[in-house]
Amino acid sequence: MIEVVHVDRCVACGSKELRPAFAREDQRHTSLARLSGELPEGVDPAFLSTFTKIGWRICEHCGVIFAGNRPPAHGCESWYLPMFKLSEERGYDVSPLPESYVRGKAAGGAVLYGVLKERGLIARGARILHIRCATGELLRLAKENDGADVWGFDFFPSCVAHANEALGEDRVKLLEGPNPRISDCGVKFDLIVSNHMITHAHDPKLLALDLRGSLADGGALVTCNEPDHAKTLKSFRSYRRGINFFHKQLFSEETFVSSMRRWGYELERIAGTGGRARKLEKYMMFICRKSEPTHGPAGSAAKSAGLLRSWERRRRVAELLRLV
Ligand SMILES: [Zn+2]
């Protein structure tokens, strides 16, 4: 039995004024559509038929684009990882991890460590949590250089094993789904780095509040790799396998910022320099600090609808020209 949540209020602002995001949904609108009926062992065969239609919605009030039919926040462990690997073609969950993957994460981890250190976010002995920490490189650097007390989560068992070995302790846990039980760590954190989680969360408000509640006084949340769909949807290659089933909110900068403000954060955008500038323009990084929830300017439904319409047009052209 697959549980489905039919969302009838905006996941960000709670408004009941919603519009369908697309006139009709086909294989372009979910990456599950191109899978044959053969699912990984242990996954209910009804999974694909249950989620044939995502029921994409746009909030008339704040402009957030989100999946109207989605799994619940918790209880996804039997299918989340195997379906993610199958549908998004993630082949690196092998032990030992592929060398090129480890090299890539070592380079990325060093850059991220530099960015956070430069902004004074890694103090001596800081308690740090990295969600989707991959090989745990950021945590390893913070532990070795700053005596940080480090914790992590990742979706892939091979990454969890690799990270724990690199750290020499058992601090990295397996993520069972996109709403981690952070309070299980039993620690309040000075720094939480949340890698591409808010886009994935089945209940983004719940996740944002969990993260907020897990920060120590004066602590900071850094959200990274959250796609700005106002930019990413402009590529002819965008969502060429169909919209990623695991993306439940398709944010733009405007809607991400307004959602996070509603959930009780004040945001500061981190811009990249040199070669990283373009990546950070499309895949947003923010320092988020606790504040009172505010209802400032939001995105607009018309703008979100326009983005999706031009993406659909581009997909049709790309398919006609067989660009991808
Ligand atoms: Zn809304």
174 contacts 152 by C-beta, under 8 angstroms: no
pLDDT band at 157 (very low <50, low <70, confident <90, very high): very high
Give me ligand 1 centre to Cα 65, in Å.
9
- Helix and strand element counts for the chain (H, E): 10, 13
Does residue 323 carry a pLDDT above 70? no
Amino acid identity of 206?
Answer: L
Every domain of the chain and the residues it spans: 177-236+243-320
Run of H or E including 109: helix 99-118
- Give the distance (Å) from ligand 1 centre to CA of residue 284: 20
Distance 12 CA to ligand 1 centre (A): 5
User: How far, in Å, is the centroid of ligand 1 from the Cα of 48?
Assistant: 28
42 Cα–ligand 1 center, Å: 36
* 38 vs 205 pLDDT, higher one: 205
User: Cα of 277 to ligand 1 centre, how many Å?
Assistant: 30
Q: Report whether 115 contacts 273 (CB < 8 A).
A: no
Structure tokens at 206: 């719940």
Question: 253-262 and 204-213 are packed helices; what angle lies between their axes, rounded to 10 degrees?
Answer: 60
| Ligand 1: centre distance to CA 231 (Å) | 20
**What is the SS3 assignment for 19-88?**
EECCCCCCHHHCCCCCCCCCCCCCCCCCHHHHCCCCCEEEECCCCCEEECEECCCCCCCCCHHHHHHHHC
Q: Quote the ligand 1 centre to 223 CA distance (angstroms).
A: 20
Query: 198 C-alpha to center of ligand 1: Å?
Result: 15
21-40 residue pLDDT tens: 999 999 999 999 888 778 88
What is the CA(263)–ligand 1 centre distance, in A?
12
Residue-level pLDDT at 324: 52
- Read off the pLDDT of each residue in 233-250 and give the average, rounded to a whole number: 94
Please state which architecture CATH assigns to domain 177-236+243-320.
3-Layer(aba) Sandwich (3.40)
116 pLDDT higher than 80 = yes
For residue 198, give the nearest of 229, 174, 173, 172 by alpha carbon: 229
> Does the pLDDT of residue 137 top 70, yes or no?
yes
The structure tokens listed for 63 are: 């402009």
* Coil, helix or strand at residue 246: coil
Distance 15 CA to ligand 1 centre (A): 5
Q: Is the pLDDT of residue 69 over 80?
A: yes
Q: Is the pLDDT of residue 14 over 80?
A: yes
CB-based contacts of 200, cutoff 8 Å, min separation 6:
178, 246, 247, 248
Question: Contacts for 92-98 with beta carbons within 8 Å, 24 or more apart?
Answer: 92/156, 92/158, 93/156, 93/157, 93/158, 93/159, 94/158, 95/157, 95/158, 95/161, 95/162, 96/158, 96/162, 97/135, 97/158, 97/159, 97/162
Q: Letter for the amino acid at 73?
A: A
Q: How far is the CA of 310 from the centre of ligand 1 (A)?
A: 22
**Residue 58 confidence class, pLDDT cut points 50, 70, 90:** very high
Using the mean position of ligand 1's atoms as its centre, give its distance from the Cα of residue 9 in Å: 8
Find out whether the peptide bond into 71 is cis, omega within 30 degrees of 0: no
The mean per-residue pLDDT over the stretch 34-51 comes to 86
Show Cβ contacts of residue 153 under 8 Å, excluding neighbours closer than 6 positions: 129, 130, 131, 132, 133, 172, 173, 174, 175, 180
Instruction: Calculate ∠ Cα 183-188-194, nearest 5°.
Output: 75
Mean pLDDT of the chain: 93
Phi, psi of 311 (to 5 degrees): -65, -45
How many angstroms is it from 262 CA to the middle of ligand 1?
10
Alpha carbon of 71 to ligand 1 centroid (Å): 19
For residue 252, report the distance from its CA to the centre of ligand 1, in Å: 13
Per DSSP, the three-state class of 127 is strand
How far away, in angstroms, is 129 Cα from ligand 1 center?
29
Kindly report, residue by residue over 119-129, the tens digit of the pLDDT: 999 999 999 99
Q: What pLDDT, on a 0 to 100 scale, did the predictor assign at position 102?
A: 94
The CA 241 to ligand 1 mean position distance, Å, reads: 27
Distance from Cα 64 to the centre of ligand 1, integer Å: 6
Question: According to the model, what pLDDT value does residue 92 have?
Answer: 75
300: CA distance to ligand 1 center in Å? 9
CA distances to 6, 17, 74, 186, 260 from 207, rounded to whole Å, are 18, 23, 11, 16, 11
Ligand 1 centroid to 260 CA: how many Å? 12
- Calculate mean pLDDT across residues 83-89: 83
Q: How far away, in angstroms, is 28 Cα from ligand 1 center?
A: 24
pLDDT number for residue 274: 74
